[in-house]
Amino acid sequence: MRQKLARFSVLLVCLSPCIGVAADKNYAPGVTDTEIKIGQTTTYSGALSAFGAVNNAELAYIAMVNEQGGVNGRKIKLISLDDGYAPPKTIEQTRKLVEQDGVAFLFTSLGAATQLSVRQYLNDRHVPQIFTLAPVEAMNDATHYPWTTGFLPTFNQFAQMVGQYIVKHKPDAKIAVLYQADEAGREHVRGLKKGLGTNSTATIIKELDYQPSDPTVESQIIELATSGADTFYNAGTPKFAAQAIRKAYDLGWHPLQFISYTVASVAATLKPAGLDKSVGIISAALFKDTTDPQWQDDPEMQQYFAWLQTYYHAPRDDLFVSAGYTYAIVLVDFLKLCGDDLSRENIIRQATHLHNFPMPLLLPGITLNTTPTDVRPLKQMRYARFNGERWELLEEMAEAASR
């Protein structure tokens, strides 16, 4: 009997390292020892298709990572589906990702209206919807939707920055506004009004919206140009922002103009509008401008250029490509942070406890930080003005305003 007990004790000692390793591994659906499946929906088609460059760049970077062995021995399978910026399609594609593909979580899915349409579905099933590229305040409601986080400063925050800039630099401005007829567009307007403040002499004299399905915004720009406005808050998405810039210039209307930082791509927005027609436009920046000479010898920029030359042949001035590159690096570093605890509970825990989390190409002084009650990773931006060739940083840095 003693010999049997002794042999059993030896067996337990031999097995205990294996038992310990298995206990350390806590996997969500879609995770194995060799693979992790992650999902996203985005706009590869339709009026907002220019944003698809972000996700294509992510896929190219992840392909490189997988060639080099993946993360912690796991290949990343990012399943990226097109929803054409149509919420019914987003719902369909998201259900496919969760119920058929069995992804562990969703990462950098794009679009405010689209991501709001699946927020409840994902939270009901405790599927992390993290680092969403849907910069509206509703995507950062940790109290009611604890499985959802944003990523970028919201349109409300950016618009407040613009309002504050106008009050300081053009206090008697007469402002015209163009915005998309959805929650994202309306948030631009709300934020601008909040930034202007109740005591400001600057005032919005004309607001016009457009539908994403509209072919052009030319009629809106004609009406805004004849309103008497000397300041133009152009909250269009890339296609419509470019149309608005070009039409305003061709009409001889040259207001002080602002465009959203999310569309401030030279390649995707300003070149289609006309670089000469875009001179003087003000926006904001989070990242080092890939065309700015001051960053050309920056080690992070050199790494980006090397990747671009080898893995993704695109213009250096496309903000959407450099953004996708940085987001993919965040994903890789985030997975390393999670380690072998790739449960959905730990994934959302790590996403809401970031402290000075690394992200390449960010401007100096900007870092990623979250708490369980403030799930906005990025909260700072620098004002920037387009000089006809590239964006020039202005001296002022604005902390993204509170909600």
Residues 319-339: tens digit of each pLDDT: 999 999 999 999 999 999 999
pLDDT of 370 higher than 60 = yes
| Same domain for 355 and 313 | yes
The whole-number average pLDDT for the span 177-184 is 95
Do 40 and 125 sit in the same domain of this protein?
yes
Same domain, 347 and 227: no
pLDDT at 398: 55
Q: Would residue 292 count as lying in a domain?
A: no
Confirm whether 290 is domain-assigned.
no
Residue 205 predicted with pLDDT over 90: yes
For the chain, report the end-to-end CA distance as a whole number of angstroms: 71
SS3 177: strand
Q: What element of type H or E holds 392?
A: strand 391-399
Contact 60, 311 (CB under 8 A): yes
| Count of other CB atoms within 10 angstroms of residue 104 | 23
Residue 314 lies in a domain: yes
Of the listed ranges 22-31, 147-156, 185-194, 345-354, the least confidently predicted one is 22-31
Which comes out higher in pLDDT, residue 401 or 324? Answer: 324
Tell whether 232 and 172 lie within a shared domain.
Answer: yes
Domain co-membership, 121 together with 176: no
pLDDT bin (cut points 50, 70, 90) of residue 262 is very high
What residues make up the domain containing 261?
155-285+384-399
Token pair in block for residue 356:
């000075």
Report the domain count for the chain.
2
Where would I find the H helices in 147-268?
155-169, 183-196, 218-225, 238-250
Do both 48 and 115 map to the same domain?
yes
CA pair distance 334, 326, nearest whole angstrom: 12
pLDDT at 10 over 70: no
118 lies in the same domain as 231: no
Strand 380-386 with 391-399, pairing: antiparallel
The beta-carbon contacts of 263-266 under 8 Å, at least 24 apart in sequence, are 263/236, 263/237, 263/238, 264/319, 264/384, 264/386, 264/391, 265/50, 265/238, 265/317, 265/318, 265/319, 265/320, 266/291, 266/317, 266/318, 266/319, 266/386, 266/390, 266/391
Torsion angle of the four alpha carbons 152, 158, 159, 161, in this order, in degrees rounded to the nearest 10: 160
Candidate from 131-145, 147-161, 363-377, 384-398 with smallest mean pLDDT:
384-398
183 and 163 co-located in one domain:
yes
- What percent of the chain has a predicted confidence (pLDDT) above 90? 86
278 and 308 together in one domain: no
Average pLDDT over residues 173-188: 96
Those residues whose C-beta lies under 8 Å from the C-beta of residue 125, and which sit 6 or more positions away, are 98
pLDDT reported for residue 201? 95
Q: Span 97-102, mean pLDDT? A: 98
Half-sphere exposure of 257 (CA within 13 A, CB side): 28
Whether 225 and 251 map to the same domain: the answer is yes
pLDDT confidence band for 24 (50 / 70 / 90): low
Token pair for 42: 């985005």
Q: Assign residue 269 the CATH number of its domain.
A: 3.40.50.2300
Note whether 205 and 221 are same-domain residues. yes
pLDDT-based confidence at 17, cuts 50/70/90?
Answer: very low
Segment 267-305, tens digit of pLDDT = 999 999 999 999 999 999 999 999 999 999 999 999 999
Q: How many residues does the chain have?
A: 403
Q: What is the pLDDT of residue 221?
A: 98
Q: Are residues 395 and 315 in the same domain?
A: no
Read off the pTM: 0.87
Residue 123 DSSP label: H
Q: How would you list the strands of the sheet with 282-285, edge to edge?
A: 203-210, 174-180, 231-235, 256-259, 282-285, 380-386, 391-399
